[in-house]
Amino acid sequence: MNSEIERLQPLLERQRRAFQAAPYPDAAARLQWLDALQRLLASNQQAIIEAISSDFGNRSADETRLAEIMPSLHGIHYARRRLRKWMKPSRRSVGLAFQPASAKVVYQPLGVVGIIVPWNYPLYLSIGPLIGALAAGNRVMLKMSESTPATGQLLKDLLAQVFTEDQVAVVLGEADVGIAFSRLPFDHLLFTGSTSIGRQVMRAAADNLTPVTLELGGKSPAIVSAGVPLEDAAERIAFGKTLNAGQTCVAPDYVLVPKDRLEGFVEAYRQVIQRFYPQLADNPDYTSIINPRQYARLQDYLGDAQARGARLLPLFEKGQARRMPHHLLLNVTDEMRVMQDEIFGPLLPVVPYDDLQQALAYVNARPRPLALYYFGYDKAEQQAVLENTHSGGVCLNDTLLHVAQDDLPFGGVGPSGMGHYHGHEGFLTFSKAKGVFVKQRFNAARMIYPPYGKALQKLVYRLFVR
């Protein structure tokens, strides 16, 4: 058996014993953990940038700073400032019939949390949930993706500098290790990845009745209104689609554009892309597709779409290695794989519509996405979009940036996931909100004890059962 698999259960037991020895870390201990994590990330930025770029073949250093290091550090700062408030018991009311008594909710660490990290943002999608789990007072095991071995090894080495393995442990290895990891009896398991793998993780967790948070994906739509300036919409959609070469779970997956504005949008989008990236060859700003398998998958999408009648519009003459040229796809149909699967790359189908009602119906006829983007400045139309669609999160007149707001919960709905984390919601996800009812010496409830039929019981019924 794989040695990494063999060590999983003993590692879990070590963390569980350590947790049982200190089941409720105080605020000072938790703040010390977060401080150590902050210093570690801040002082190793260049090593992180180089490791991630090595795994991708080329990852823009600025994208790693903007989309991984910066939000990780901001998440730590946000949690540190609010941790003592989060830890305070929440006072709750007690009904008159049950007085004298008090009630409160205490937020208790769950124990050992498992986190399965995807390859597309290997730092942020490990550190983000780690912040919530540590703030809530837990021990943590992280399973890094086999597609980012350099980043996984670096994070393992770095975290070992400030955490003992019975506090935070990093697990490496191939898909078989990930399968075994998901079968462990954690106190909570968070998985970020594809919907298909998410189903497998949930089945494995069900055998242990392990509660799960699933951060999946799906086809996140962007809707361009009839009135928004096309340059505004094109620029903001292009940023969301080109960041990390589209390898983002909340990247716009397709765009709905009014039929009479389609060609105008295509031209505006082309100009923006070519301004962002004047060329692909040797351009350090343009991130590569993570590996040959993912590159081949995207090429297959293009071939399938073209064979079924799509019009392909490459926005560059050619790429370099796995720096895949950005493409717009027109005349797409539901039979094409590019309209069935989450794209996760620099391909953007553009779908025409007649009116907003038709656009919303198109979105609602498909599985609920992780994100939805609407571009239009009319507030009545914005409200109509919010009220008549379901998605994990929404940006009005922007893309991606709702994920970076620490005070907003992040999570999917239905096929795009379940549960939330980030900020306070992360603390709550990795805590048990335990209801506590408190009585002291005087016991008014004796009035309702058997034998029944006494006068005081009848008075209670007249007062409270109505």
What is the residue extent of each domain of the chain? 3-216+416-433, 221-411
One-letter identity of residue 327: H
Whether residue 304 has pLDDT greater than 90:
yes
The reply to whether CATH 3.40.605.10 applies to domain 3-216+416-433 is yes
What are the residue numbers of the active site?
Answer: 215
Interatomic CA distance for residues 354 and 368, integer angstroms = 22
In this prediction, residue 281 has a pLDDT band, given cuts at 50, 70 and 90, of: confident
State how far the Cα of 130 lies from the Cα of 76, in Å rounded to an integer. 10
Q: What confidence tier does 1 reach under pLDDT thresholds 50, 70, 90?
A: low
- Above 60 in pLDDT, residue 45? yes
Per-residue pLDDT at 428: 97
Dump pLDDT digits (tens) for 167-215.
Answer: 999 999 999 999 999 999 999 999 999 998 999 999 999 999 999 999 9
Which residues, in sequence order, are bridge partners of residue 108? 432
Task: Write out the DSSP string of 406-435.
Answer: TTS-B---GGGEE--BSHHHHHHHTEEEEE
Indicate the range of 10-19, 148-157, 275-284 predicted with least confidence.
275-284
Contact partners, residue 216, CB within 8 Å, separation at least 6: 192, 193, 194, 195, 198, 249, 370, 412, 415, 416, 417
Domain 221-411 has CATH 2.40.70.10: no
Mean pLDDT of the chain: 95
Residue 204 three-state SS: helix
Instruction: Give the model confidence (pLDDT) of 84-131 as tens digits.
Output: 999 999 999 998 888 999 999 999 999 999 999 999 999 999 999 999
Average pLDDT of the residues in 443-447: 82
Residue 128's pLDDT is 97
